[in-house]
């Protein structure tokens, strides 16, 4: 979903450069709708971070996917204060799980 948002935002610029203003507007509106729905649809109230996806039955699928929250944070889909809180909770979960040695 995060990558779809990024693609839609990129398409806005491409369409404008190509003189396709109506299509650019459609892409912008779709990106805005996706951004507005992102956190409400994917926030897991039990963990405080974003789930990887929500299936058709409404179930959130959440195994602490760093990519789900990380992409949303990097693309500005989450407000900064909420983003810091989510990333902090993921970091706490990482430490609690014992993933503390990153020697390569």
pLDDT score recorded for residue 104: 64
Residue 102 inside a domain? The answer is no
Cβ partners under 8 Å of residue 12, min gap 6: 24, 27, 28, 31
In the predicted model, is pLDDT for residue 84 greater than 90? yes
Please, which residues bridge with residue 50 across strands?
43
Give yes or no for residue 102 having a pLDDT over 80.
no
Does residue 91 fall inside a structural domain? yes
pLDDT given for residue 30 in this prediction: 98
Mean pLDDT computed over 13-35: 98
Mean pLDDT of the chain: 94
Q: Is the pLDDT of residue 101 over 90?
A: no
The full length of the chain comes to 104
Whether 101 maps to a domain, the answer reads: no
Task: State the Cα torsion 70-74-80-84 to the nearest 10°.
Answer: 30
Structural domain range at position 71: 2-96
Does residue 32 surpass a pLDDT of 90? yes
Query: If you ran DSSP here, which 8-state letter would residue 51 be given?
Result: -
32 within a domain of the structure (yes/no): yes
Q: Note the pLDDT of residue 76.
A: 95
Neighbours of 46 (CB within 10 A): 9
Domain total in the chain: 1
Within a domain: 103: no
Task: State pLDDT tens for residues 46-55.
Answer: 999 999 999 9
Is a pLDDT exceeding 90 seen at residue 72? yes
In a domain, 10, yes or no: yes
pLDDT at position 100 is: 86
Indicate whether 7 belongs to any domain.
Answer: yes
């Amino acid at each position: 979903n995060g990558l779809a948002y990024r693609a839609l935002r990129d398409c806005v610029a491409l369409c404008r450069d190509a003189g396709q203003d109506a299509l650019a507007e459609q892409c912008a509106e779709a990106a805005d709708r996706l951004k507005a729905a992102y956190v409400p649809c994917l926030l897991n109230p039990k963990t405080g971070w974003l789930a990887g996806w929500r299936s058709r039955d409404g179930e959130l699928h959440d195994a602490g996917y760093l990519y789900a929250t990380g992409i949303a944070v990097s693309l500005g889909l989450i407000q900064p204060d909420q983003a810091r809180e989510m990333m902090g909770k993921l970091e706490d979960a990482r430490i609690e799980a014992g993933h503390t040695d990153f020697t390569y």
